[in-house]
Every structure is written in C-alpha cells, then in structure tokens.
Amino acid sequence: MTSGFDSQLINALQFIPPFNKYFGDGYIDPITQQLGVNPPLLGIINASYSLGAICAVPIAPYFNQLVGRRWAIMSGSISMVIGALLQGFAQHVAMYIIARMLLGFGIVFAIISGSAMIGELAYPKERPIMTSLFSVSYFFGAIIAAAISLRTSEIRGNWAWRIPSLLQCLPSVLQIFFVFWLPESPRYLISKDREEEAFDILVKYHAEGDTDSVFVRAEMIEIKTTIRLELEISKQTWFDMFKSAGMRRRVFIASMMGLFTQWSGNTLISYYLSTILGMIGYDTTYAKTRINIANQCWSLISAGIAALSVTRFPRRRMFLLCTISMLCAFIGWTVSMEKVLSANAQNLTNNSAAIAVLFFIFAYSPCYNIGNNALTYTYLIELFPFAERSRGIAVEQFFGRAAGFFSTYVNPIALKAITWKYLAVYCGWIFIETCFVWFLYPETYGRTLEQLAFLFEDKSLTENVASAVHKHIYFGENGIEPHPGKKSFAHLETVPNHRLA
C-alpha cells in the first residue's frame, strides 16, 4: 500500500497549484503555461524514493534472516513513519527529498520480509493467490492517495500537499500495530532450530488444529530436509548468489525482473500522468484528478482478477501474455500521441487521437498487471530457495529501484525534449522483455517451494527430499508405521506423489 500511495501522491501533487508554487520557484510549464516544478528537480523528488530503497538493499536481507520476518517489517515501518512525518512538515525541497529517501529505505525491509512471509506461511494450494494479492495491495494505496489528493486539491494553502504527504504514514502505522498479531514464518523458525513453534503454526494454519495430520507431517519433514540440504551448501552470504550456475541464472532473472517492473512504461503513468494529460489537452485540475482516480480503480480491478487467476495458468504463459499485450498497447499509445502532438504543432485539435491516448493508457493497466504485478513476488518466492530467498528478492528490489530512479528522473526531461518519440523507446524495450521471457524464464507452476528449491541444481537433491518424506510418512522415524492403529487421512490425497501445491 505504501508504494502505491507514494506513486500516486507525487503524481497527484503535480495537479495541486500550492505544491507547484512551493517547490517550483516560479517555474512555468511550457506546454500547459501553468505553474509547475522544473523537470530535473521533479525527477529528483520522484527518484529520491528509489534512491533510499537502493541504500537499504545490501542490509535488508541480513536483517531479515537475523531477526525474522516480523521484526524486519516493524523496522521498515518505523522508518517509513518517520519519513512521512518529515515529508509532511518539510520546510524546503532538500528536507522533502531526505524524507522520501527514508520512505524508500523502509519500504525495502517491508517488501522483502512481507512477500517472503506470505509465501512461506500460506497454505501451499493458496500460496500463488496470496503472494499475488500482496502486489494488488499497491492499488489500494494508490486509490487512497488519489482520493485524498482529490479532496485536498480544493485547499488553497500549503496544507493541500502537506495533508496527503503526512497521511502516507497510515499503512505503516497499521503494520506497526498489527504485525505481531501475525505468526512468524515456519521456515524461518525451522532454520533457527525452533521446530516445535514451526510445527504448531503449521498445524494451526494448514490442518485446522489436527496434530496427527499426514499433510502437516509431510510438509514438516519436507521443509526440514530441504532447509538442511540448502544450509549445507550455503554460507548465507552474497557470494552464494554467484557460486553456482543455477544461482547465477536465478540472479540474472531476478535482475531483469526488477528492470521490467520499472522500465515497461508504467512510471510514466504512475508519476507523470499529469504531464501526459497536459500534452493531449486535459490540463485542468478537475479533469486530471478524476482521470487519475478512475485509472487507479480500474487498475485495482484488473490486478485483482489477474491475481485470482494465477492458479489456473502457467507462469510463462502469463508473463508472455503480459509483455506481448503491453507492446501492443504501447504501440497504439505512441501512434495516437504522435497524432495529437502533430495536430497541436499546426494549432489544430485532434480530439479522436486524444481519446485514443486515454484508451491505451487504460488498456495498458491490465496488460501490465497480468505479469509484472500479479506474478512478480509469486515467481521470485518460487524461484529462490529459502536460504537465498531474502537476497533474491533484494536483487530484484535493487534493480527495480535503480530502474525506477533512472526512469523517474529521466521521464520528465525526455518527454520535454523528444515528446512522443520517447514512447517509441519503451516499445523497443518491451520487445526485448518479450524475447527474454520466451528464452530464459523457467516454468514453476504447480510445485511446492521445496520441490522448486533445487530447480537448476542436481536432481538427486530433490529426490533426497522426496525420499525423506516418503520414509517418514510410511515408515516413521524408526522404520515402522507411525501411530499404529490410528491413521489420519487429512489432506491424504496430496501426499503420495508429494504434490503439496
């Protein structure tokens, strides 16, 4: 929610004259002839959030593995609350930028820990949906920010932008109050030799309190065996990410996923919709704010549908549909934008082309959400084994935030310099994304996290895990049938072939 709130906060504040007056220092936008913020400065204000996130990437995984998922979420939330307070009471642009860096620093802790925790705690069958809905929460924050800014845009003074800036702390405050009501990740507990606590959590959430559940016993031994094998070959350092061919491929895929989530043209809509709308003739605050909130509501609907569909379709198929449809939408957007600006250059108005631009902006959202929103954390959690999962998500965050920093800084400058031709650059990049997904993305659909732990490694490791589960379930720890005379058939249909997802 905080990430969504942030993107729409800065996007919506550009619609508010007091914000442009306070930070714009009298700058007049040459397109709209209205008060604005100089593009390089606006780029820095937007990009500072990503810069703070980049600073957090090296340490967030260590902290996550050291203190657990819940304490890492708490620490990130505290950083974001401090950042939001500084942002709301900022006296000058430097203070505002530092505040946004604190917000970005904290969000990495929350995202790495939160996504890992959901994936590791969720019931295997429901895990893809749960991790996909984690990404959908972005749009709840975006809608709240857009709605708040819609109302505060009517305020004439500086509180028009200070109020929404302060309210960015709300999602983090909720996390601080409720995070310790959540159970800790059972996989984290097992890695710290707290097996009884992990077993109790699995029994409560995966077997409805049945301590004799065959499913939970199978799950427990599978997790224990997999983590033991992982830790035997891992020193849990950054060097582990590069010492084997399988890990290097994972890192490469995670790096490109980070770039794809921020270099697919989405930051144009998230941070610079005001500029885009001004270029096609929608230059009133009334029109901009309502188009913005309508697009966010539509994005929430499309992202929710995509998230609920992840159990029905293979991952590669959804990612390919995402990139191909994004490319089609962006080509249509680029052509329509060129028609609008060509007419403007001749002092004419092309309303049909302007409406087409709006159509493709709205069409782009479901295309992006099919893969880059719904599947990003689902896929990362499946791609990386437990011992490297936090660092794997951190790699994606580093490249995503670096790409976000670059694109949010460059977007306003490039739009001013080369206008619609800048959209054509994104068309070329999205084509590269499609090729990358086709040739390099492995399929992870329909398997448990433990079955995927050795996706690129020696298949004998996966067989060892399956053998350990089979031995424990059918012969017990001492070579005899467990619980003689008493059998539990809870979830038994998923045990013989170890398909726990």
Give 138-204 as a DSSP string. HHHHHHHHHHHHHHHTT--STHHHHHHHHGGGHHHHHHHHHGGGSPPPHHHHHHTT-HHHHHHHHHH
Same domain, 253 and 363: yes
Same domain, 193 and 300: no
Does 93 map to a domain? Answer: yes
Does 40 map to a domain? Answer: yes
Same domain, 195 and 299: no
The DSSP symbol for 28 reads B
Residue 367 sits in a domain whose CATH number is: 1.20.1250.20
Same domain, 161 and 227: no
Does 340 map to a domain? Answer: yes
Same domain, 376 and 250: yes
49, two tokens = 């959030």
d(CA 126, CA 459): 26
Predicted confidence at residue 499, as pLDDT, reads: 40
Does 500 map to a domain? Answer: no
Length of the chain: 501
d(CA 154, CA 173): 27
Number of domains in the chain: 2
Does 67 map to a domain? Answer: yes
Predicted confidence at residue 417, as pLDDT, reads: 86
Predicted confidence at residue 463, as pLDDT, reads: 55
Predicted confidence at residue 292, as pLDDT, reads: 87
User: Of 107, 140, 167, 150, which Cα lies nearest the Cα of 13?
Assistant: 150
d(CA 466, CA 226): 10
Does 499 map to a domain? Answer: no
Predicted confidence at residue 100, as pLDDT, reads: 93
Same domain, 176 and 193: no
Does 378 map to a domain? Answer: yes
Same domain, 65 and 49: yes
Task: Please give the chain's pLDDT, 501 residues, in tens.
Answer: 777 787 778 777 877 888 888 888 777 776 666 777 788 888 888 889 889 999 998 888 888 888 888 999 999 999 999 999 999 999 999 999 999 999 999 999 998 888 888 888 888 888 888 888 888 888 888 888 888 888 888 888 899 999 999 999 988 999 999 988 989 988 889 888 898 999 999 999 888 888 888 888 888 888 888 888 777 766 667 777 788 888 899 999 999 999 999 999 898 888 888 889 988 988 887 888 889 889 989 999 999 999 998 888 999 999 999 999 999 999 999 999 999 999 988 888 889 999 999 999 999 999 999 999 889 988 998 888 877 888 888 899 899 989 988 888 888 889 888 889 999 999 999 999 999 999 999 998 887 776 776 677 656 555 555 555 555 555 555 443 444 444 443 333 343 344 433
Same domain, 29 and 50: yes
Q: Which long-range contacts (CB under 8 A, 24 or more apart) does 237-241 make?
A: 238/58, 238/391, 240/387, 240/388, 240/391, 241/388, 241/391, 241/392, 241/395
Same domain, 147 and 229: no
pTM of the model: 0.79
Same domain, 361 and 462: no
Q: Are 81 and 167 in contact (CB under 8 A)?
A: no
Owning domain of residue 195: 189-234+458-494
Predicted confidence at residue 480, as pLDDT, reads: 39
Does 72 map to a domain? Answer: yes
Q: Are 72 and 112 in contact (CB under 8 A)?
A: yes
Same domain, 145 and 209: no
Same domain, 218 and 239: no
Predicted confidence at residue 33, as pLDDT, reads: 67
Please, how many CA atoms are within 13 Å of residue 406, restricted to the half-sphere of its CB? 13
User: Of 19, 327, 372, 303, which Cα lies nearest the Cα of 136?
Assistant: 303
